[in-house]
Amino acid sequence: MEELYTLEREVGRGSYGVVFEGHMAKTGERLAIKRLPCSNPECIELYLQELWAMRVTAKNHPNVIALHSCLLQTGPRTLQSLRPGKLPLGLVESALKGSVVGAPQTEGEINSQSAAQQRAKSVLSRPKLQDRTNTGPARSTVTTYDAKTPQRPPQRPKKRPAQTGEEQPRPQRCLALWLLMEYCDGGDLNQYLLSRPLDTEQNHSIVQQLSRAVAFLHGLGISHRDLKPDNVLVCVSPTGPVVKVADFGLSKMSEGLLEGTQPRQHFSSTCGSDFYMAPEVWGGLSYTAQADIFSLGVMFWAILERITFKEEGTTQEQLGAYACKRHWLIPLGEALWENPSLQLNIPVKFKRAPPLPPPPSQAMCSLLLDMLASDPDARPFADQLEARVHSAIKEDSR
């Protein structure tokens, strides 16, 4: 690893892997290097989804994190590069079979395999039965040769010993998947915005960039399914922050695009983060990529009005809009699932601690209400969203 890349420090740790800051040994280019341990098939399936989505997006959009390359770790100090367009077949097999290919076998699996081998040996050692179906006269097996013209006797095919299970090599196990991505020096969106003073123009730029990123992903048939500030990274540039949608572990590719460019595949698994999940996901219903639009609406509202919360058991502030129920904060998706006719107050009516940004324009408030509609079909599609965001921000700047 050190010959190609150098790991400098850990910059993030999640449920599935660790992210390091590093650089390429030859060029010195900074990279984010993500290590995903391949310890169980459930995690491996998520890794393959992330790898596939990042390969599809490649380096084609400035607001989606770029994947430079992928490495497979097959030993303590053994890495091999995964060729572009290829998937690691051992990991695919692990995800399909529900067991890690090449992993040490359990005692039960070893005993079962030994019993199967013993049965195979007993079958091979039985005396062969004679074929009595041919009742005609026996044919001579002697071959005659002409003494004047020497001939080579016909060659007999060589008999190959039957291969047993013991002789077949086990597939090579992949210990970890390493994703080498572009490095974002501004941290995630929470860290970046909450560590800086309010800047309305900057907020507008971030909202526009996010709308373009999701329009790009949905145009490719990719549903992110876990949009939140933690999964948006920031690159600091002289012209302002450039945001990058990242972490595609829960993403799904649509099998087909219907209704123009809109992905309409339905999903059933409940996934995402509580404060950004759509009502239909909260309710356990089937849902489409329109659930991403709801998550984006929660983020937009929080960014534009600087709304934050602290999850139970944590002290870190996070950007996110919510509903209030007595003294409790309720995720918007949960509140709208319980009461689809709930009226959201946009802009926020109750008092919050200053300093506060100016309230969004009427056009922006209407857009946020549409994005946060309890009915998925009432939300704008991603390609429509980009134009509406641009129009609303234009009205805000007047």
Distance CA 373, CA 342 (A): 10
User: What are the pLDDT digits (tens) for 339-356?
Assistant: 999 999 999 876 666 778
Which of 183, 216, 236 is the last residue in one of the domains? 183
Does 129 reside within a domain? no
Residues 279 and 348 in one domain: yes
Helix axis angle, 200-219 relative to 290-305, nearest 10°? 170
Does 146 reside within a domain? no
Distance CA 46, CA 43 (A): 5
Phi-psi region of 390 (alpha: psi -120 to 50; beta: other; left: phi over 0): alpha
Residues 366 and 225 in one domain: yes
Does 143 reside within a domain? no
Q: Which residues contact 304 (CB under 8 A, 6 or more apart)?
A: 203, 207, 357, 360, 364, 368
Residues 178 and 255 in one domain: no
Which of 183, 209, 232 is the last residue in one of the domains? 183
Does 251 reside within a domain? yes
User: What are the pLDDT digits (tens) for 16-49?
Assistant: 789 999 998 888 899 999 999 998 888 888 888 8
Distance CA 368, CA 332 (A): 13
Phi-psi region of 221 (alpha: psi -120 to 50; beta: other; left: phi over 0): left
Query: What is the chain's mean pLDDT, rounded?
Result: 81
Closest CA to 220 of 19, 58, 108, 360: 58
Residues 277 and 206 in one domain: yes
Statement: residue 15 has pLDDT above 90: no
What percent of the chain shows pLDDT beyond 70? 78
Q: What is the CATH number of the domain that holds 62?
A: 3.30.200.20
Which of 183, 217, 246 is the last residue in one of the domains? 183
- Domain extent for 284: 185-398
Distance CA 361, CA 353 (A): 21
Q: What is the CATH number of the domain that holds 265?
A: 1.10.510.10
Does 109 reside within a domain? no
User: What are the pLDDT digits (tens) for 98-135?
Assistant: 888 766 554 444 454 444 345 434 433 333 333 333 34
Residues 284 and 199 in one domain: yes
Give the residue-averaged pLDDT of 161-186.
73
Task: Tell me the catalytic residues.
Answer: 226
Q: How many domains does the chain have?
A: 2
3-state secondary structure of 335: helix
Statement: residue 64 has pLDDT above 90: yes
Q: Phi/psi at 284 (nearest 5 deg)?
A: 75, 20
**How many Å from the N-terminal Cα to the C-terminal Cα in the chain?**
54
Structure tokens at 209: 């960039």
Decide the pairing of beta strands 222-223 and 252-253.
Answer: antiparallel
Number of H helices, E strands in the chain: 10, 16
Helix axis angle, 89-97 relative to 41-57, nearest 10°? 130
Statement: residue 246 has pLDDT above 70: yes
Does 352 reside within a domain? yes
Residues 267 and 352 in one domain: yes
Residues 99 and 201 in one domain: no
Residues 312 and 206 in one domain: yes
Residues 212 and 329 in one domain: yes
Give the residue-averaged pLDDT of 123-151.
39
Residues 272 and 178 in one domain: no
**Is 63 within 8 Å of 216 (Cβ atoms)?**
yes
**Is 296 within 8 Å of 227 (Cβ atoms)?**
yes
Q: What single-letter amino acid sits at 276?
A: Y
Does 112 reside within a domain? no
pLDDT of residue 175: 87
Distance CA 367, CA 360 (A): 10
Residues 202 and 212 in one domain: yes
Distance CA 271, CA 267 (A): 10
Residues 264 and 278 in one domain: yes
Does 329 reside within a domain? yes
